[in-house]
């Protein structure tokens, strides 16, 4: 997170250049950076694919897609015209090592301080691409390789990717990207915790009852059945996004903003996660699969009726987990991880519930229940921090009601907020690894998740059904109620 100087020149190479991620996220992110003067005159964007496009064909398609995904207020014809001249398409088959000589020749036309290779392709191609780049001497000190998830299907396959990429690139050259870590609110979580003395004394087991981390999606699997049915929600969301967010909530203060100082503290959290036995999995995890229902005001099919899903699939589309951290700060505090598809709305929240006061002197509210303080850090769709407190209701009685102190980043800061991929791409070009996952973090996350995967695979019952447009199986609410907790709802 520490600021590093921006190079005078760079080449950013997108493998999978005709794919959805490059068109929808990566090129629009770089346009925004260019528009806001962050790239200066530096930078060429080489987009590689198998399709027989000319450079102008590709630029026209990229413009059409960018217009769809960029806010209208951010579009500028003149700036796009200047930006698109730096976008170059080249037909290269990533699976043919002989074609990498053409890539090397391209890059030699625009010699740069930094060459970044973004592998927006299936993980099965990572090894071949890295080996082919190395044969062309494109793995020198000025080269960086970016790996997009999924980074393996289990611990063994993840380690195999690590070994394969590590043959040609050093760890300091490898950027394992998790776009959730690029969100402004995740970095504000660091600022909130380590930039203010107010919360540090409270950020521990003596004052916090539970922590809830939620990533809810309204959408189903769409056309991704081929990928999703072999992956499921645990691999797709928990092993990476949710565990990384847990680390930022639970980590100890790092000694500095140096990338390894931050990642060392995250690793300690992963090492302290209490491992699951098969019995623990039965008690402390819930998996579900959506059935037909109403979502977003529309009738939607169930998972088993989605195109491309095999009959009788037991792939989970919903996960709830009660996790615990065995250290002095967090012992006994449950961390509830919650994610699913076809839920009532799209949101991502981190909720910190504080203990109630030890002795009540105020009368019960009219609804008969008290509301202890809580901190809600919203990551999407809007980014905000909200602190819920109790205040006196106007009138003669001393009845309390919940109120909130709100920090909405859009209204409080006039500066434009960078999108997640925009920030992460700029960090890669600078060489800042703070918001990227180190190999030992990745391995520990898989070690923690794998017993859950194995226990579920051996369980013939499969996931519990839930109706699309609801908050998942009833068992997820029971997971909390057994410990006297309940899911956060906006008040």
List the catalytic residue out of 153, 168, 179, 241: 241
Q: What share of the chain is helix, strand, coil (3-state, %, to 5)?
A: 40, 20, 40
User: Partners of 47 in the beta sheet?
Assistant: 14, 89
Taking only Cα atoms into account, the Rg of the chain, rounded to an integer number of angstroms, comes to 24
Distance of CA 240 to the CA centre of its chain: 7
- Is 241 catalytic? The answer is yes
Contact between residue 385 and residue 185 where contact means Cβ atoms under 8 Å apart: yes
Dihedral in degrees, nearest 10, Cα atoms 237, 445, 338, 477: 140
Neighbouring residues of 406: CB distance < 8 A, sequence distance ≥ 6: 384, 385, 386
Collect contacts of 455-462 with beta carbons under 8 A, ≥24 apart. 455/276, 455/278, 455/281, 455/282, 456/234, 456/281, 456/285, 456/287, 456/316, 458/278, 462/289, 462/314
* DSSP code of residue 172: G
* Alpha helix (H) residue ranges in 336-419: 409-412
Would you list the DSSP string of 256-284? SS-HHHHHHHHHHHHHHBPPPPHHHHHHH
Other CB atoms within a 10 A radius of the CB of residue 35 amount to 18
Rounded distance, CA 138 to CA 110, Å? Answer: 14
Contact between residue 488 and residue 347 where contact means Cβ atoms under 8 Å apart: no
Q: What are phi and psi of 254, to 5 degrees?
A: -70, 160
First to last CA, the chain: 34
The per-residue b/e assignment along 63-83, b for 16 or more CB within 10 angstroms, e otherwise, is: bebbeeebeeeeeeeeebeeb
Rounded distance, CA 283 to CA 273, Å? Answer: 16
The per-residue b/e assignment along 299-314, b for 16 or more CB within 10 angstroms, e otherwise, is: ebbbbbebeebeeebb
Instruction: Decide: helix, strand or coil at residue 158.
Output: helix
Q: Catalytic residue positions?
A: 241
């Amino acid at each position: 997170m520490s600021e590093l100087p921006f190079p005078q020149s760079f080449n950013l190479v997108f493998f999978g250049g005709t794919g959805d991620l490059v068109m929808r996220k990566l090129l629009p992110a770089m346009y925004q950076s260019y528009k806001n003067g962050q790239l200066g005159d530096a930078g060429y964007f080489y987009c590689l694919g198998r399709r027989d496009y000319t450079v102008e064909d590709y630029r026209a398609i990229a413009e059409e897609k960018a217009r769809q995904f960029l806010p209208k207020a951010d579009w500028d014809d003149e700036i796009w015209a200047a930006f698109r001249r730096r976008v170059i398409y080249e037909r290269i088959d990533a699976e043919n090592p002989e074609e990498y000589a053409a890539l090397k020749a391209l890059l030699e036309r625009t010699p740069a301080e930094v060459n970044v290779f973004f592998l927006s392709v299936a993980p099965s191609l990572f090894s071949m691409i890295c080996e082919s780049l190395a044969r062309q001497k494109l793995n020198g000190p000025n080269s960086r390789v970016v790996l997009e998830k999924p980074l393996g299907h289990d611990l063994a396959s993840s380690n195999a990717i690590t070994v394969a990429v590590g043959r040609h690139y050093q760890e300091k050259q490898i950027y394992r990207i998790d776009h959730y870590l690029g969100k402004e609110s995740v970095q504000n979580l660091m600022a909130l915790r380590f930039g203010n003395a107010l919360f540090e004394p409270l950020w521990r087991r003596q004052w916090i009852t539970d922590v809830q981390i939620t990533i809810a999606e309204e959408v189903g699997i769409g056309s991704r059945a081929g990928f999703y049915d072999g992956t499921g929600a645990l691999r797709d969301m928990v092993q990476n996004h949710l565990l990384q967010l847990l680390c930022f909530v639970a980590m100890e203060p790092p000694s500095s903003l140096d990338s390894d100082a931050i990642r060392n503290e995250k690793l300690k959290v992963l090492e302290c996660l209490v491992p699951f036995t098969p019995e623990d999995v039965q008690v402390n995890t819930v998996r579900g699969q959506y059935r037909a229902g109403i979502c977003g005001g529309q009738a939607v099919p169930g998972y088993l009726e989605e195109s491309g899903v095999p009959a009788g699939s037991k792939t989970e589309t919903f996960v709830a987990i009660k996790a615990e951290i065995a250290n002095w700060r967090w012992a006994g505090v449950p961390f509830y991880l919650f994610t699913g598809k076809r839920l009532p709305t799209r949101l991502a929240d981190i909720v910190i519930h504080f203990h109630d006061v030890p002795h009540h002197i105020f009368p019960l509210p009219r609804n008969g229940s008290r509301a202890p303080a809580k901190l809600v850090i919203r990551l999407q769709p809007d980014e905000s921090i909200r602190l819920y407190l109790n205040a006196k209701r106007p009138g003669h009685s001393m009845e309390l009601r919940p109120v909130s102190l709100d920090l909405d980043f859009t209204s409080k800061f006039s500066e434009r907020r960078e999108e997640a991929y925009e920030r992460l791409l700029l960090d890669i070009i600078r060489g800042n690894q703070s918001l990227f996952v180190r190999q030992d973090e990745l391995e520990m996350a898989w070690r923690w998740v794998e017993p859950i995967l194995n226990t579920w695979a051996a369980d013939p019952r499969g996931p519990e059904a839930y109706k699309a447009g609801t908050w998942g199986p009833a068992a997820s609410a029971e997971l909390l109620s057994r410990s006297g907790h309940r899911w956060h709802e906006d008040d």
